A and B are shown apart, each in its own frame.
Chain A
Amino acid sequence: QKEVEQNSGPLSVPEGAIASLNCTYSDRGSQSFFWYRQYSGKSPELIMFIYSNGDKEDGRFTAQLNKASQYVSLLIRDSQPSDSATYLCAVLNAGNNRKLIWGLGTSLAVNP
């Protein structure tokens, strides 16, 4: 069974620090990788997607992909209390059945 795993947390970081969120996946043929942020009681919102090995930066967010290790991460620089949320990792599985496989999410708390 194709899986996406995340540490449930909570991950607690002080304001201004770098938060590092990790995700591993089992399907070696996975093609695209997504990070969503979900505030309590709200729907998930897309932060970033990445499909090539290496880093992709967008403002304070950097996604890192290592297909050989089947590992994708999200770094949040200069963490703010408003970054406190659950971060969901999703992976597009390979083949004709092109569906997103979701992790359970990591809860992040940024402490002022």
Chain B
Amino acid sequence: SQTIHQWPATLVQPVGSPLSLECTVEGTSNPNLYWYRQAAGRGLQLLFYSVGIGQISSEVPQNLSASRPQDRQFILSSKKLLLSDSGFYLCAWRRWGDFQETQYFGPGTRLLVL
């Protein structure tokens, strides 16, 4: 069976500090991977998605970046955090070739920027 991991689970960071969130998927190959942000009282915002190693598509201009160094690893980064970066960061995966595009979410990372 497939499992998706995210860490850390929670993070409190000062404004201007760097960020690195990691997501890994087990039990599948060549998944599509997604980073979402869910701010308090707001919907899911797609930040990045990746169809393969080194292939990243950005959905929203911002101070965040993503990388996919390995098939089942997806990393979200920032060089300098803003207050507005606070939120619940969710990684999701989709099985390659899944016509229905069903996405499955990891447990999430709650980020508070102070």
User: Which A residues are within 8 Å of any B CB, using their own CB?
Assistant: 32, 34, 41-46, 49, 51, 88, 90, 92, 98-100, 102-105
Total residue contacts A-B, CB cutoff 8 A: 41
Chain B, Cβ-Cβ closest to A105: B43
A-B contact pairs, 7 of them (CB 8 A): A32-B101, A42-B107, A43-B108, A46-B103, A100-B101, A102-B43, A105-B43
A42 proximity list for chain B (CB < 8 A): 107-108
CA distance in complex: A108, B90 (Å): 22
What is the CA–CA distance of A100 and B36 in the complex, to the nearest angstrom? 11
- For chain B, give the interface size range: 10 to 19
Residues of chain B in range 99-113 having any CB-CB distance to chain A below 8 Å:
100-108, 110
A85 to B43, CA, bound (A): 15
Asked whether A43 lies within 8 Å of B90 as measured between CB atoms, the reply is yes
What CA separation (Å) do A98 and B43 show in the bound complex? 19
Chain B residues with CB under 8 A of A100: 46, 101, 103
The answer on a CB contact under 8 Å between A45 and B44 is no
Contact B44 A46 (CB under 8 A): no
Q: Decide yes or no: A104 and B42 within 8 Å by CB, A32-B100, A44-B105, A49-B100 being known contacts.
A: yes
Kindly provide the distance from the CB of A105 to the nearest chain B CB, expressed in whole angstroms.
7
Q: Contacts of B43 on A, CB cut-off 8 Å? A: 88, 102-105
